[in-house]
A and B are shown apart, each in its own frame.
Chain A
């Protein structure tokens, strides 16, 4: 009797858990709503708050090599005047911060959120004028793929391969494959010349021509080789290897079969 009365007077132990969960959901939700709201307000190119946030991120993550004011040190170049596009490319593809010193900064998982990348980019852009992050209309295709293909063959194919499969350079450097690079990163690479890639400014290749090149690359991403196996599009190296292994292997197998005694 008493025990049942006491039980009715108390909350169930599960109620505590439920209450706790409910509280967490509400505070977390409210926090998320609050933080996305401020994030959208923050990533404004000229906003002082964006630049301040970017400066903090920069000093915490980049200053070791590039100097406290991005003036450059022995270990890293000055970033004054490289522009927002360079930062968005290097940080947005995970090349920066660099994992280790080497012939080439490798692409690796991205270390910053889009928002932080933008903050860093606009902080660096505030230090000196440089190429800006391109407009969506220039990086989403819709241009003349044929013109883009001609420009790609003249300006890019010698390093990146005519099908954008990438290629080797000197002393361990290489031109990366372009088959899953976003339009905005292709555009930014052209205007900023990351690492050993030369710069292709707007007077060399106009923004519309750059859009055509991106259109061509997107076209060959969507329309794979019509001639059968492409074997990495690398040309004679991979094709020769294939013939040596599979072609000659088949011939050897047939020769063995012909000379074996029938039983």
Chain B
């Protein structure tokens, strides 16, 4: 049996042709090193200064207990600071002082314990290197057979496979078990109304006047000069007693006036604007942040949360970012007195997409 001498290293290819010496190799292993490295053992133990010099040990001990005493000082200081810097004066700067000095005391108390403990362990506690051998992950054959036996015995004794009615009823119980959570979360939604309905409609209706946020003063079409941006709420929102914020969160509108020549309108929406004045929902169609960063030259609306961009001149189509749908447009008109009014509610649900949205 000829065996090549590979420069002194005995490397035999596993699964090599039969004329070569068989080596104990598991299939799939490319090479087997015949003689592995020897365990080099530990590097020589290096004693710490505290092991050799009792003076240093003494000083380390001193710094450890000084740390612990410092911790006590910190705790006491925290209590004292809480009283020395009261925050009853209604002045935010007093709260700041109180928080600052109380916090410094507590930090000192905790950090000193931590640093003291670590220093103790590093400098003074027993210092010797140990080896913790890693045992093979796979159990022995007996252990594995034993484990299978345990499961089989358990199945036998409990009759889990045999008593199929009991087993199936248990599975049924486990399947039904999460349902109370579903009901519970459903309880967070409005009870007396259909949430889908609520999400699909806002306060806007035919003839509702567009009013200024927050004062509620109605807006005349002549008030809106070119390049203006008005933050708008529906008339009557401020008089609501319940759910005012919910209604505002759906109905908030941004009103802008563009040069009518720059406005590019679809024929079916041509009468939704008034002399270049357009109104769009302020609620982003991505996850519902208020889109109100209006650039009057480019006519772009930017959402500050995830950088969705909408082109106001083109029905707020999405030109960048994660939003999928254009912002819903509020059809507007002018009433007899010259005030801006809504022609109807939004024709599609505002805000982010949801399953039942049509």
On whether the beta carbons of B302 and A170 are closer than 8 Å, the reply is yes
On whether the beta carbons of B214 and A204 are closer than 8 Å, the reply is no
Main secondary structure of the interface of A (DSSP, over half): loop
With A201-B228, A204-B228, A228-B96 given, is the CB distance from A158 to B214 under 8 Å?
no
**Residues of chain B in range 81-122 having any CB-CB distance to chain A below 8 Å:** 92-93, 95-96, 100, 118-119, 122
On whether the beta carbons of A262 and B48 are closer than 8 Å, the reply is yes
Among candidates B230, B290, B292, B304, residue contacting A204 with C-beta atoms closer than 8 Å: B230
Nearest B residue (CB) for A158: B292
- B123 CB contacts on chain A under 8 angstroms: 262
On whether the beta carbons of A158 and B293 are closer than 8 Å, the reply is yes
Give the total of A residues in contact with B, Cβ under 8 Å.
30
Nearest B residue (CB) for A205: B212
**Residues of chain A in range 221-263 having any CB-CB distance to chain B below 8 Å:** 226-228, 257-258, 261-263
Among candidates B118, B292, B296, B304, residue contacting A193 with C-beta atoms closer than 8 Å: B296
**Residues of chain B in range 200-234 having any CB-CB distance to chain A below 8 Å:** 212-214, 219-220, 223-231
Whether, in the assembled complex, B138 has its beta carbon less than 8 Å from a beta carbon of chain A, the answer is no
Whether, in the assembled complex, B19 has its beta carbon less than 8 Å from a beta carbon of chain A, the answer is no
- A195 CB contacts on chain B under 8 angstroms: 297
CA distance A150 to B214 in the complex (A): 8
Whether, in the assembled complex, B10 has its beta carbon less than 8 Å from a beta carbon of chain A, the answer is no
On whether the beta carbons of A198 and B96 are closer than 8 Å, the reply is no
CA distance A170 to B297 in the complex (A): 12
On whether the beta carbons of A199 and B225 are closer than 8 Å, the reply is yes
- B46 CB contacts on chain A under 8 angstroms: 261
Whether, in the assembled complex, B342 has its beta carbon less than 8 Å from a beta carbon of chain A, the answer is no
Nearest A residue (CB) for B256: A198
Interface centre among A159, A203, A261 (most CB of B within 10 A): A203
Main secondary structure of the interface of B (DSSP, over half): mixed
On whether the beta carbons of B229 and A198 are closer than 8 Å, the reply is yes
On whether the beta carbons of A170 and B214 are closer than 8 Å, the reply is no
CA distance A154 to B231 in the complex (A): 7
CA distance A226 to B118 in the complex (A): 36
- A197 CB contacts on chain B under 8 angstroms: 296
Whether, in the assembled complex, A196 has its beta carbon less than 8 Å from a beta carbon of chain B, the answer is yes
Whether, in the assembled complex, B49 has its beta carbon less than 8 Å from a beta carbon of chain A, the answer is yes
- B122 CB contacts on chain A under 8 angstroms: 258, 261-262
- B49 CB contacts on chain A under 8 angstroms: 263
**Residues of chain B in range 227-255 having any CB-CB distance to chain A below 8 Å:** 227-231
Whether, in the assembled complex, B294 has its beta carbon less than 8 Å from a beta carbon of chain A, the answer is yes
On whether the beta carbons of A169 and B214 are closer than 8 Å, the reply is no
- A155 CB contacts on chain B under 8 angstroms: 229, 231
On whether the beta carbons of B50 and A154 are closer than 8 Å, the reply is no
On whether the beta carbons of A154 and B213 are closer than 8 Å, the reply is yes
- B95 CB contacts on chain A under 8 angstroms: 226
Among candidates B93, B118, B296, residue contacting A199 with C-beta atoms closer than 8 Å: B296
On whether the beta carbons of B223 and A203 are closer than 8 Å, the reply is yes
Whether, in the assembled complex, A56 has its beta carbon less than 8 Å from a beta carbon of chain B, the answer is no
- B223 CB contacts on chain A under 8 angstroms: 201, 203-204
CA distance A173 to B309 in the complex (A): 14
- B100 CB contacts on chain A under 8 angstroms: 228
CA distance A229 to B256 in the complex (A): 38
On whether the beta carbons of B296 and A226 are closer than 8 Å, the reply is no
- A261 CB contacts on chain B under 8 angstroms: 46, 48, 122
CA distance A198 to B226 in the complex (A): 9
On whether the beta carbons of B225 and A169 are closer than 8 Å, the reply is no
Among candidates B96, B226, B256, B304, residue contacting A227 with C-beta atoms closer than 8 Å: B96
A-B contact sample (18 more), CB < 8 A, given A198-B294, A203-B219: A150-B214, A154-B214, A154-B231, A158-B290, A159-B293, A197-B296, A198-B228, A198-B229, A198-B256, A199-B227, A199-B296, A201-B223, A226-B92, A226-B95, A227-B96, A258-B118, A261-B122, A262-B123
Can you list 24 A-B pairs with a CB-CB distance of less than 8 A? A151-B214, A155-B229, A155-B231, A170-B295, A170-B298, A170-B320, A175-B293, A193-B227, A196-B295, A196-B298, A198-B227, A198-B228, A199-B226, A199-B229, A200-B228, A203-B219, A203-B223, A226-B96, A227-B92, A227-B96, A258-B118, A258-B122, A261-B122, A263-B48
* B residues at A contact (CB < 8 Å): 46, 48-50, 92-93, 95-96, 100, 118-119, 122-123, 212-214, 219-220, 223-231, 256, 290, 292-298, 300, 302, 304, 307, 309, 320
Q: Which 7 A-B pairs have the closest CB atoms?
A: A198-B229, A262-B122, A203-B223, A226-B92, A196-B295, A199-B227, A158-B292
* A residues at B contact (CB < 8 Å): 150-151, 154-155, 158-159, 167, 169-171, 173, 175, 193, 195-201, 203-204, 226-228, 257-258, 261-263
